[in-house]
Structure formats: structure tokens, C-alpha cells
Structure 1
């Protein structure tokens, strides 16, 4: 008998193998409220009608043929990323990555009028502020600073220092391809020297005497506090009187921890304050005139330059303080103007990979299966996975025989998982990995259908999974659900969408962004795109594959939980 159970839709999608048998005994009760529509022995897919008696078995299939191997990405598209990295990260297994960055600037208000007579005086400042990702952990009393912890800073952020240099960029970052203006311009992670460093347009701009802003730069977790002054640099108390007592200063503004860099005043006086009016009419003209800033980092002489931060430069700005008056006999008035780090950007990566990692990429068994898998962010590597083995050469229908066998059994898919065990070689593992359709370069259905959210957005889509599991402070495994994907392969009727596509596995910096970005050399990589979340991540992880020599207890597992009529 076949019953329509509208109220049961989507329930069986959520069932798990270890408790589904308990549900079966209650189905008869639920059937009493259903409407009988026909009598047959059909079995249907997830979320559809189900036969409600004891004439079916709950089974696990865990012997599907798998092939998984790692491919080097080469240079990747890295312009206009949502999040960019800056610094040097030393991973104990994968090696060293240096990240530099270039960004255009925009006028906070177009066609500004700076006054008839304007100048930057000795008490004025030109400063850059780039906020870090941080979390406030304690509140200070009075004028005491609040306490913060930095997030998305890798390496030894408490102690490491970098040699940071900021220059005027001399290369115009285009919106569209010069050959085909209908196509957006792509810039790649390995073009630092040819595009930018060969076209620097100024001397170093962060050239002050405070070494923490240049040769001894550090990602500082201290809150930034700006106090009220009299316009000439003297601090004021609550009565507006000049004070030299630190405890009587008045807080004007509190800023979360961030990069605070004083920039060369003479440069900005000439380049912006005294710029021709025609260059300030709109931001398009301004970007052609002032092509942006380049952030260069190098190791310094400290012996510890292992610090790299992920930054949202779109929230960064430059504040220009200046004095202006209309007539020579007028008094100067202090004013401010803001430039925003917005427009086109490029993140550049320079890698010195370890010999071990390089050897593994060179000696991969692709397209056959590898003993270990090495998804690595930036311009690192991605894993490709083929399910269900090969097609029989005799039938030439491009459908693997194992998949054809499952399709012929009229089964109901209850769940399906891929599980990857971590091989710890002192690397810092990514907290999320991302499984996607690498044939079409789109997310799989389970990712698309999963709207689950968590307090921390990094844990969103937790039903889809791919979250690093930690047991007693040891990184152990990742588990990813692909139930809807497998169900569509087996029960889907559209030959255009139920194909057995190749899967891709990458690390991801942002599970909420499933978009794709380009590859500079698709022939080397074997694909034209990869997930943008992989490009933004500086991390990598090492996973056990399913090669015959792999430790059987750690092999990657593919398990299908299904129901079959008996």
C-alpha cells in the first residue's frame, strides 16, 4: 500500500542509522492520519512517501570505490577578495608564506574644498587605521583601555615583528580587461613584481621615528584611545583646560585594535591637499591620479617575523589633519579629511614551501588515489575525489557500474558522509574544509540546502559539516554530509544534473562564501576555478587518503546509509 504522508516530509532526511529502527515501530500510528491514494511497492527518495511496515532493511554501504589525490593550484586569482592577508606565516609542515597587498583609495567626499590657504602643520597628523578582527574580553574603568583578543592572526602574534613598508602604487588597477572591456579584470597572486614593485611611485611613506610603525611593526592587541586636545597637541581635562596629568585626560574616541601608522605629511600635502581640482572631481579621476597604496612586508633582524593577519581593508581609512583659512589675515582653523581604502585590490602570495610538501605534490598518484591528501590555502593545493570507480568499458555509458547497481536497487538514501582523518605534523589545521562539485565548480546540494546558523558565523552550515573535530586538544577528523548529492545521483531523473561529477575538497576561510575564483594555469591545476574561501586561507591540513598502504583505521571513509525493500 502507498500512503501520502505530507506531515512526514523531510523527517526521514534527518534520520540517522543508529536510531531509525526505533522510528519504524511508530510508523503504523502515523499512518492512521494519512490518506490512501494507491497500492504499489514503490520506494521513494528523501522527504517523499515511504512504505510503513517491516518490509525494508536499514543498511550501510561503505565499500564504494574511491579515488582521492592532491593537485597544486599554481597562481590563483586574488584581486578584490573579501578578506586579505598581510604578513609572514611559517607553518611547521607546509613552509613559509609571505602576503603583501595593494589597494586603491577613494575620497570620502568628492570634489572637496580644502580652503584658499591650506597647510599641514607640525601638530597635524596623517594616519592610517586598519582594524583587526578582535573580541573585547574586559572593560576598562574610566580612561583605562578595554581589553581585546585578536582573531584571525596566525603565527606568534604576541612576539613577532615585521619590517613593514608602505609606498604609493604606480600601477593603475583596472576594472575591466584591456582587450575585452566586457570582461572584469583578473589579477593573480604571483604578479607582485611585474605589476607593483617595478612601478612604485614614492619613497617609503611610513618613515617616522616610531619603529613599531615600520621596521618593528607588530599586530598589537591594545585598544587605541584618542584623547581631546587643544588643536596644538596639548591634552585637555574635563573643564577644557590643558593638563599634563594623564589621569585627567578626556577620551575623545576609542578604536578597536588595529594597524595605526603615521604617514609622511609632506607627501599627502602635495598629493592630496594641493592636488589639482580636476583630479578630485570624482573617484574615477582620483584613482587614475593617485593609484593607491602598496603594503610590503619582509622579515626583520629580530629573528621572529612569524605573524600574518587576515584583514578587511574595506574598513580601513586615512585621516588627514590640516589647517585652512580664506584670507592671509584670517586665523587658521584645524580640519580633517578622510580617504578610504576602497576600490580594486590585489593580495600577493610568495611561498617557500617545505621540501616534504613539494615532494608530495610532485609525486602525487593523480588521477589515482594518494596515501595522504594535502588541501592548502592561498596558491597551494586542492584535493579531487572520484566516487564509484570506473565505468565498464563495454557499455560506454559513462556511468560507473557501482552507481548503476545502486540505481537498480530502488533504495531510499537516508544519509551519506565523507570522513577524513587528520595526520598531525605540527601544522595548524583549518577549522573548516569545503566539499564542492569540481566538475561544474559549484557547491553541492547539501551546502546549498543547509541554512543552519551558529552564534559564531564560522560554524554556520554545521549540518553540511566540514568542521574540525578536536578530542582532548588533538585535531582528529572532519566529517561532511553529502546526502542530497548522493540521493540526486541515485534517484534523480534529470540526466543533466544527476551525473557523477568529480568532487573537490579545499580548506576554507569562510564557509559562508561558496563562490569561485580563477586559476592562472588551468592546465597545471586541471580545472579553471577553485573556491574563493581557499584562496583567502593561509592554512593547510594533512588528511589520510585511501591508498592500500594507508592505515586502515585512518583511511578516508565514504558511508551511505540507506533503506532497501526486502
Structure 2
């Protein structure tokens, strides 16, 4: 409170000395003395809930895949539908020769080749979908936070070899997460000669996975048999066509045979591929050299015969050189999870997803010392290559949600007692907060507008009902909530003017708040928002600022403030950040049985006596 007093005192003196216009009505004749008093008022609030049953799901920044279990708010199931796109500047050529050259040969002034069937043969097809990952390292010791025994101490020793993480990260020959880097049986602190076998190796923390990640996961990938137009035929193809979460082509029978239908084990390690050994360089083994490093991802093997017939046997056709024609020919794929032993929901980087088609072919190569103009100087050689289709174009989530509990449904229906506030991401529940409601609330607002107090800070603190959370088993709570102007579905002024940012999502808009506050046991206890500017505008400029309804949702992050459309049970806009997380929480409402936990607006101000 001392900090607030001095801040308020300094601000008041500065204002009086500089004669700011907005406080000109406070003139010296109105100040009976030069005594300043720091005090606090509270204002009651009311809360209303709305359910989210159907959303526009083709414009999301993060897509779902899998099943999320929630005893209170209902279970969520999600499938992902996407078009495929050809490579940039597609040629429709596999191997080195086009169809005409394979059939008729090559005859130019400098080059002559006989007709040659390259026999392109698909060997492997992989659907790759990267996980969202991070490599945050708060203390800069070279060990990312999730593997760091103390992420705030660069002198910690995460692998227990008596060398600090910082020491090991500064040495090219040591691995901070392996006490015996070279595997010779001698720990790094005692080893006089250590050689790190892979100095470029990366480790990652995997984000946005909810559930049992160690189980075998049953994936199903099907070919879509419906063209996904990006223009709306009902609007004469003059606007974008929207796709909604209740659209299920699989249930409508518009998918064909599975391209994959089996279980795989998730792998969270970096994927390293090596070069192919060149037989012409006998003194060098290229197969030991790293060709590519990929971040952790799901890799699903697809039906090679299907892609041989549908793609490679169509070499030279128009659909392989024009993306629009290709998407009319190959409509896309639908990816889903079959029932697993334990629910698992994943949010994956579909924007980085691809189908990688690996193939062998017979390449015509010029013999040593051969003449390119002599067709007889060429020989057939085994070669291999890869062809990539990206998961891009029209794409959307099909999301279904089971019935919420009777308690939550009562609150949504407006029959609740105000004891609790219910929030759920995805197809969930959003809450609305009204300040200064009813006659008493309006009288208080008018009084605050009439009295020339200096508003030091205004807070909304939302306390988690820990007993209820624990009883219901809701252990995975959101790391952040989002408070916004619900009248226009836009950020509050306090959000907009908050400059705080950083590499960690928790660093963004940290003054505005909404971050989960935890106790010594690591349990979430509350969320706090600072809305000082919002309240000051309402009190000092009532002609320009209305007492708008505030929206409250769970949030995945504050990187995006875009909205998406809700179409059922009623139509309204909702922040995308709420859709981008399946998590839920139950908070103490304005009428909670414990007065200390009740939601209310706290106003800290400086008065003059």
C-alpha cells in the first residue's frame, strides 16, 4: 500500500502543478486541506454464462486432434480435414525426364538421349505433422527449462556429474543432460578426454498435449471425396466459404478407404536423417553425415500403392501442374483418432504438416568421358528422390462435445445462484461480467464519477474454488484467462497499452494480467486483471466511455486477439484464444459462500481531506 500511496501522491502533485485540463474541476478551493488519503472501495458485479456449441473452425490459428475428457463440461472429440497442395511452381515431373522425353527421348544440338522409362516407384509415404515445441531457457545455461533441475540457476547440475549446466553448455564436447557424454563409463567430471558424438543435437519441450502420451495411439487417415471450395457458391462465389465445427464429412459418408488405420507410438525426439553414401568417394562415408534435422513430429506411414496409382502414374497430367485442378482431383484427407485406452487431445502444427512421398527411379547418366550428344554414352543408374504435398488450402476442425453437467447447464440457463463462474475452452463456456449493476450499482457509479478521486489501481481478482476443483478432479487448469470488451469483442484499453512482452507466453501483457497465480504447492489459486485505465475512462470521461459488459474466457496465449464466430446456440463473436485450448476452470462467483473469495471490483484511490 506504501507504493500505491507514494505513486498516488506523486501523480496528484504533478497534476496540480501542471494544471491538466481533465482535473481542472478539482481547483484549490475544493481542497479543504493538503492531506492525502489512500483508500479502497469495492463494487459488486453480476455474472452470466453462455455456451459455445458450434463455431467457425476454418480460421483457427491452432487445430485439434483427438479426445479430451472433462467430467464437468463434457468430453471433446476432434478430427482434422485439409486439402493438399502441390509444391511451389509444380512441373508434374518425377525423376529427371518428363513423359515426352521418356517416350521419345531427347534430341537437341548438344544432347541426345534414347527413350527411357525411368520406372518411378513409390517406396514410402509419410504423413508428417510437427508438434508445437519450445526451447525456453530462462537462466541461459544451455539446458531448456523443462529438463533443467533449476531453471533459474545457471550453476545447477541437471545431469549430476558435478559440472554445472553452464560449464557443460560452453564446451562443445560435453552434454549437459548426460553425465557420461561419450559413453565410455567415466563421468564427464573425471574424464580427461571426452568427445560428444553429436554436438548439434537438439532437445525440445512438447506443448499442447493433454492426456496419456505414452500409450499407442490409433490414427485413421482417409481420403476425402468432396471438393472443398474456398469461395461461397451461395454468394455467387464472391466471398470466402466458411466451414463450421459441426461439418463431418466422414459421418456423411464422403470419405473412402483408409490410407492408414493402425496404432503408432508417439516419438518426441529430434528426427535425424543421414546422407546416402556416394560410391565414387571411397575415402568418405557420407552415410555418417547428417543430412537433415527435424523437430519432433508425428510420422504416419500411408498406403504406397494408393499414391503410386493416384499421383505417380498420373505424371504429365494437367492436375499435377495446376494446384486448383489438383485439389479438384484429389480433394484432401481427413485425420482422426480412434478410441484409445485413455483420452488424448493434441494441438499440432498442421501448418508445418506435409505428405512426403519417397520414390526410386532409373536415371540416365552420362558415363565417364562420355559425349552428351551420343545417346549410346548414357547408362541407367538407380536413384531416389522425394515429392512433397503440403497440408494447406481449405482446412478445418470437426469438433463434437458431449453434454455438460447439470450444474453447469443450470448456470448457462441463468438459473444459477452466482456461487461459481464456469469457464471452458473450445466448445465450452464463456462468462460475462457486468459492473455497477442495478440501482445501487448505478448510484455508486454516479458517486464515483462525481468525486474527483485519483484512481491508483482497479483490479478484478478471480479465485479458484480449490475444494470444488479437487472434488471434481479438474487438475489441469488454464495458465491464463482473458478479459475483454464483450460489446464489440475487442481488447480492453489496459490490454492494448500494456507493453510487456518476451519469449515466454507468460511475459506478454503481464501487467494487464490474467496469469494463473500458484501457491507453494504449485496449485493455481487465482487470476488477477488490472483494469485501471478502463475504470478511469469510465469515471472521468463518461460521455465517451460506456459501462460495457466484460467477457471472460480461458486463453491459450495472448499472441492473437482475433475472433471467430459462434453460430449456436446463439450467434456471437468469441476470441480465438479461447477456442485454442480445451482446458476448464471453476471460479468463485460474486455470491460464493466464502466472502473472502467472492468476485468484486477493487478500486484503490487517492482522496483529499
TM-score clears 0.5: yes
- Mark the CA change 1:273 to 1:71 in structure 2 (over 3 Å): closer, same or farther: same
- Mark the CA change 1:391 to 1:439 in structure 2 (over 3 Å): closer, same or farther: farther
**Do 1:379 and 1:535's aligned partners in 2 also have CA atoms closer than 8 Å?**
yes
Task: Please show how residues 531-542 of structure 1 align to structure 2 within 5 Å.
Answer: 531-542=575-586
Higher mean C-alpha deviation, range 505-514 or range 452-461: 452-461
The answer for the alignment partner of 1:322 in structure 2 is: 359
The answer for the alignment partner of 1:60 in structure 2 is: 40
The answer for the alignment partner of 2:452 in structure 1 is: 410
**Do 2:44 and 2:600's aligned partners in 1 also have CA atoms closer than 8 Å?**
no
TM-score, normalized by length of structure 1?
0.80
Higher mean C-alpha deviation, range 534-543 or range 449-458: 449-458
The answer for the alignment partner of 1:431 in structure 2 is: 479
What does the per-residue CA deviation read over 1:19-45, in whole Å, with 9 as the maximum and x for residues that have no partner? 23235666799799x66799995349x
How big is the shift at 1:295? 0.4
**In structure 2, distance between residues paired with 1:256 and 1:224:** 6
1:378 and 2:433 aligned: no
**In structure 1, distance between residues paired with 2:410 and 2:221:** 37
How big is the shift at 1:98? 1.7
**In structure 2, distance between residues paired with 1:31 and 1:465:** 27
1:446 and 2:425 aligned: no
How big is the shift at 1:164? 0.6
> SS state of the match for residue 172, structure 1?
coil
**Do 2:44 and 2:590's aligned partners in 1 also have CA atoms closer than 8 Å?**
no
1:559 and 2:607 aligned: no
The answer for the alignment partner of 2:231 in structure 1 is: 176
**In structure 1, distance between residues paired with 2:574 and 2:20:** 47
> SS state of the match for residue 520, structure 1?
strand
Higher mean C-alpha deviation, range 432-441 or range 291-300: 291-300
Task: Please show how residues 483-562 of structure 1 align to structure 2 within 5 Å.
Answer: 483-492=532-541, 494-495=543-544, 498-521=545-568, 524-525=569-570, 528-547=572-591, 549-562=592-605
**Do 2:45 and 2:599's aligned partners in 1 also have CA atoms closer than 8 Å?**
no
**In structure 2, distance between residues paired with 1:291 and 1:256:** 28
**In structure 1, distance between residues paired with 2:68 and 2:14:** 58
The answer for the alignment partner of 1:19 in structure 2 is: 3
How big is the shift at 1:461? 0.6
The answer for the alignment partner of 1:350 in structure 2 is: 400
- Mark the CA change 1:530 to 1:267 in structure 2 (over 3 Å): closer, same or farther: same
Give the alignment's Cα RMSD to 1 decimal.
Answer: 3.4
Task: Please show how residues 153-232 of structure 1 align to structure 2 within 5 Å.
Answer: 153-157=209-213, 159-180=214-235, 181-192=237-248, 195-206=249-260, 214-229=261-276
How big is the shift at 1:84? 1.0
- Mark the CA change 1:387 to 1:29 in structure 2 (over 3 Å): closer, same or farther: closer
How big is the shift at 1:462? 0.5
- Mark the CA change 1:35 to 1:85 in structure 2 (over 3 Å): closer, same or farther: closer
Q: Which of the numbers 268, 272, 275 marks the counterpart of 2:307?
A: 268
- Mark the CA change 1:483 to 1:292 in structure 2 (over 3 Å): closer, same or farther: same
**In structure 1, distance between residues paired with 2:411 and 2:442:** 27
How big is the shift at 1:186? 2.0
**Do 1:71 and 1:361's aligned partners in 2 also have CA atoms closer than 8 Å?**
no
**In structure 2, distance between residues paired with 1:499 and 1:103:** 43
The answer for the alignment partner of 2:321 in structure 1 is: 281
The answer for the alignment partner of 1:106 in structure 2 is: 85
TM-score, normalized by length of structure 2?
0.75
**Do 1:100 and 1:296's aligned partners in 2 also have CA atoms closer than 8 Å?**
yes
Q: Unaligned regions of 5+ residues in structure 2, if any? A: 100-116, 136-143, 145-176, 182-195, 365-377
**Do 1:84 and 1:347's aligned partners in 2 also have CA atoms closer than 8 Å?**
yes
What does the per-residue CA deviation read over 1:363-392, in whole Å, with 9 as the maximum and x for residues that have no partner? 546287621111101111101111101258
The answer for the alignment partner of 1:258 in structure 2 is: 297
How big is the shift at 1:314? 0.6
- Mark the CA change 1:38 to 1:82 in structure 2 (over 3 Å): closer, same or farther: closer
The answer for the alignment partner of 1:83 in structure 2 is: 62
**Do 2:84 and 2:389's aligned partners in 1 also have CA atoms closer than 8 Å?**
yes
What does the per-residue CA deviation read over 1:297-324, in whole Å, with 9 as the maximum and x for residues that have no partner? 1214xx33x2222112111112222234
**In structure 2, distance between residues paired with 1:372 and 1:502:** 18
How big is the shift at 1:410? 2.8
**In structure 1, distance between residues paired with 2:6 and 2:38:** 11
**In structure 2, distance between residues paired with 1:368 and 1:415:** 31
The answer for the alignment partner of 2:121 in structure 1 is: 121
What does the per-residue CA deviation read over 1:305-351, in whole Å, with 9 as the maximum and x for residues that have no partner? x2222112111112222234588974453222211111221112222
- Mark the CA change 1:224 to 1:565 in structure 2 (over 3 Å): closer, same or farther: same
Task: Please show how residues 143-162 of structure 1 align to structure 2 within 5 Å.
Answer: 146-157=202-213, 159-162=214-217
**Do 1:106 and 1:342's aligned partners in 2 also have CA atoms closer than 8 Å?**
yes
- Mark the CA change 1:182 to 1:493 in structure 2 (over 3 Å): closer, same or farther: farther
Aligned pairs, how many?
506
**In structure 2, distance between residues paired with 1:283 and 1:69:** 48
> SS state of the match for residue 306, structure 2?
helix
The answer for the alignment partner of 2:131 in structure 1 is: 132
Q: Unaligned regions of 5+ residues in structure 1, if any? A: 1-16, 45-50, 207-213, 242-247, 393-398
> SS state of the match for residue 262, structure 2?
coil
1:42 and 2:25 aligned: yes
**In structure 2, distance between residues paired with 1:178 and 1:271:** 28
**In structure 2, distance between residues paired with 1:161 and 1:103:** 24
- Mark the CA change 1:169 to 1:156 in structure 2 (over 3 Å): closer, same or farther: same
